[in-house]
């Protein structure tokens, strides 16, 4: 049974805090193993990657077969049905169109003192995309990571995907091709992250690594951070649905279950102004859990981490939502725009009853890589900006230096940084002679 809370009850704050701070995930401590793997790849390069792939993925590789050839990709993607291909292409087109609008603008202006200032955005030169193997190998994730990189202008996009027992995933390879991935290596785990970060004889290093992975991959990303950039370390998926009584309980039940089916640690929460509706959703969830393919996983998630919270009004719902800072937020209410305006922290908002969260996972257009574990308080979903960086620009005219240089001299002196001040003083002296 999920937790059922009433926001007007006397003990609500205690119970809500418990829900907010519950640690859902047990992260195994794999840091020592991962440190060894990274050191091994740095020391022995391809040889280490090949040995570790034999050990973990049961594949026999050599430097010539680390990379999946264009011919292999051709052969694999030929197996994909026209319907699946069409769906992937529609998704890619929509994701590309959305992300193209994120391209930031450069700026340059001259201020009244005569200083020309501005900034310029440039893409990361080379990025690496981690794609998990096996069941968690999602073609949609390939699109969501690769398309923003390519829209940003990343010249070289290298993907790694383990192939346990040598099995290629045709849809993943097709997604990579549609998204414009430049190189694909059949490796995974911490060894793949190390190879991308430090390079081997066969795999040139990249500057930034994104993409989901298991505990080993997450630990490896944390370790190589600094040498390369990384995206966030994603936790288990979450959904918060705010719904009034005027909804189909089965729609909402399925939306809650579509996060619950990801992972036993996933969390699905309903906040409703209508206790009877909350009850109806709970019944609808139980009914769906009788037949759902992934009912074992979804059932554990719902019972251990699910919650139904009744609130007196939508303002109270928004306030609780902002404290949760959910990864995914559905607003199934009569005026979703009005409610949306009250939301200050959320990864992605889905407005109205015709926008199930799953639309956003695949074809909506916005990215599905979103901040989990309340980190929407301070971070955003993956975007084109994650594959770009900004260089600031400043050029002083002699007049500008005359106008603002003395203040720089003064501040340098107050910070006891003499050379800083002298670098201005020497120039002012020349200007004034």
Looking only at residues 225 through 254 of this chain, which bind its own copies when binding is defined by CB under 8 A? 226, 228-229, 233, 248, 250-251, 254
5 — phi, psi (to 5°)?
A: -125, 150
Q: Which residue has the tokens 């995914």?
A: 328
353 labelled binding-site residue: no
Q: Which of 10, 23, 26, 414 binds its own copies (CB under 8 A)?
A: 414
- Centroid of chain to Cα 422: 46
Q: How far apart are CA 42 and CA 261, in angstroms?
A: 38
Minimum distance, C-beta of residue 54 to its own copies, in the bound complex (Å): 28
d(CA 330, CA 272): 12
Which residues are bridge partners to 328 per DSSP? 239, 348
Q: Is 191 helix (H, G, I), strand (E, B) or coil?
A: helix
Judged by phi (left if over 0) then psi (alpha if -120 to 50, else beta), residue 226 lies in: left
Residue of 99, 328, 330, 357 marked active site: 328
Residues between 359 and 378 with contacts to its own copies, criterion CB under 8 A: 359-367, 370-371, 373, 375-378
| Total Cβ atoms within 10 A of residue 379 | 13
Q: Was 214 annotated as part of a binding site? A: yes
> What is the nearest approach in angstroms of its own copies to the Cβ of residue 60?
28
Nearest CB to its own copies, comparing residues 134 and 275 = 134
Is 51 a catalytic site residue? no
Site string for its own copies, 188-227 (x = CB under 8 A): -------------------xx-----------------x-
Q: Is 327 among the residues known to form the active site?
A: yes
> Among residues 306 and 421, whose Cβ is nearest to its own copies?
421
Site for its own copies in 144-163 (CB under 8 A): none
Count Cβ neighbours within 10 Å for each residue of 303-317 and write b for 16 or more, e otherwise. ebbbbbbbbeebebb
**What DSSP state is assigned to residue 105?**
P
Nearest distance, CB of residue 145 and its own copies, angstroms: 15
**CA dist., res. 66 & res. 53, Å (int):** 10
Q: Of 52, 336, 339, 384, which one interacts with its own copies (CB under 8 A)?
A: 336
Residues 54-113 that bind its own copies (CB under 8 A): 83-84, 86-88, 90-91, 94, 97-98, 101-102, 107, 109, 111
Residue 359 CB coordination number (10 Å): 13
| Nearest distance in Å: CB 356, its own copies | 4
Task: Show the tokens assigned to 351.
Answer: 């407005």
Active-site amino acid positions? 327-328
């Amino acid at each position: 049974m999920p937790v059922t809370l009433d926001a007007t009850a006397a003990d609500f704050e205690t119970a809500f805090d418990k829900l907010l701070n519950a640690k859902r995930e047990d992260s195994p401590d794999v840091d020592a193993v991962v440190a060894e793997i990274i050191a091994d790849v740095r020391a022995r390069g391809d040889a280490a990657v090949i040995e570790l792939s034999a050990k973990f993925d049961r594949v026999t590789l050599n430097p010539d077969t680390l990379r999946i050839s264009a011919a292999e990709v051709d052969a694999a993607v030929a197996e994909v049905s026209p319907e699946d291909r069409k769906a992937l292409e529609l998704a890619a087109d929509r994701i590309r169109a959305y992300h193209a609008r994120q391209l930031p603008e450069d700026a340059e202006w001259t201020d009244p003192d005569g200083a020309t200032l501005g900034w310029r955005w440039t893409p990361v030169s080379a990025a690496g995309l981690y794609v998990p193997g096996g069941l968690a190998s999602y073609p949609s994730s390939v699109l969501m990571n690769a398309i923003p990189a390519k829209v940003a202008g990343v010249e070289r996009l290298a993907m790694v995907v383990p192939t346990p027992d040598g099995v290629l995933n045709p849809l993943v390879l097709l997604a990579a091709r549609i998204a414009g991935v430049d190189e694909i290596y059949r490796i995974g785990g911490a060894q793949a992250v190390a190879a991308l970060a430090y390079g081997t004889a066969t795999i040139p290093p990249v500057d930034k690594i994104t993409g989901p992975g298991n505990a080993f991959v997450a630990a490896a990303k944390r370790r190589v951070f600094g040498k390369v950039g990384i995206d966030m370390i994603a936790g288990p998926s979450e959904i918060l649905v705010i719904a009034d009584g005027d909804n189909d309980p089965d729609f909402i039940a399925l939306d809650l279950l579509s996060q619950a089916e990801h992972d036993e640690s996933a969390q699905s929460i309903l906040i409703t102004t209508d206790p009877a509706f909350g009850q109806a959703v709970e019944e609808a969830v139980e009914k769906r859990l009788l037949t759902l393919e992934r009912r074992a996983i979804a059932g554990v998630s719902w019972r251990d981490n699910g919650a139904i919270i009744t609130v007196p009004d939508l303002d109270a719902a928004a306030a609780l939502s902002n404290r949760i800072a959910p990864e995914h937020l559905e607003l199934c209410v009569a005026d979703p725009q009005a409610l949306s305006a009250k939301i200050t922290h959320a990864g992605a908002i889905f407005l109205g009853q015709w926008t199930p969260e799953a639309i956003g996972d695949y074809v909506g257009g916005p990215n599905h890589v979103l901040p989990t574990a309340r980190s929407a308080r301070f971070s955003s979903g993956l975007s084109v900006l994650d594959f770009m960086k900004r260089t600031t620009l400043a050029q002083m005219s002699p007049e500008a230096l005359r106008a603002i240089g003395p203040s720089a001299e003064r501040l340098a002196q107050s910070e006891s940084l003499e050379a800083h001040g002298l670098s201005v003083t020497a120039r002012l002296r020349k200007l004034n002679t």
